[in-house]
Amino acid sequence: MAEVALRKTQDAAARPRHWRVVASDWASDQTAFKNVSWGKAMMWIFLLSDTFVFSIFLLSYMTVRMSTTQTWPNPSQVFALHIGGQDIPLILIAIMTFVLITSSGTMAMAVNYGYRRDRKKTAVLMLVTAALGATFVGMQAFEWTKLIMEGVRPWGNPWGAPQFGSSFFMITGFHGTHVTFGVIFLLIIARKVWRGDFDTGRAGFFTSRRGRYEIVEIMGLYWHFVDLVWVFIFAFFYLW
Condensed to tens digits (0 to 9), the pLDDT of residues 29-38 reads 555 555 667 7
Is residue 100 within 8 Å of residue 225, measured between CB atoms? no
Quote the CA–CA distance of 46 and 34 in Å, as a whole number. Answer: 19
Give the model's pLDDT for residue 156: 85
d(CA 227, CA 224): 5
pLDDT, residue 4, reads 47
Query: Cα separations (Å) of 138 from 72, 142, 180, 183, 207?
Result: 27, 6, 10, 12, 30
What is the residue extent of each domain of the chain? Answer: 34-238
The beta strand positions in the chain, using DSSP E, are 81-83, 86-88
Question: In which residue ranges of the chain is pLDDT below 50?
Answer: 4-6, 210-211
Q: What is the pLDDT of residue 233?
A: 95
CA proximity to 173, closest of 77, 57, 59: 57
pLDDT at 201: 59
> Phi and psi dihedrals of 29, rounded to 5?
-90, 55
Question: Cβ distance 86 to 76 under 8 Å?
Answer: no
Give residues with Cβ within 8 angstroms of 37, minimum separation 6: 31, 214
CA pair distance 216, 193, nearest whole angstrom = 9
Cross-strand partners of 87: 82
What global pTM score does this model have? 0.82
User: What's the pLDDT score for residue 207?
Assistant: 59
pLDDT of residue 170: 94
Q: Which long-range contacts (CB under 8 A, 24 or more apart) does 109-118 make?
A: 110/216, 110/220, 111/216, 111/217, 111/220, 114/193, 114/213, 114/216, 114/217, 115/213, 115/217, 117/199, 117/211, 117/213
Q: Which CATH number fits domain 34-238: 3.20.20.70, 3.90.280.10, 1.20.120.80, 1.10.3720.10?
A: 1.20.120.80
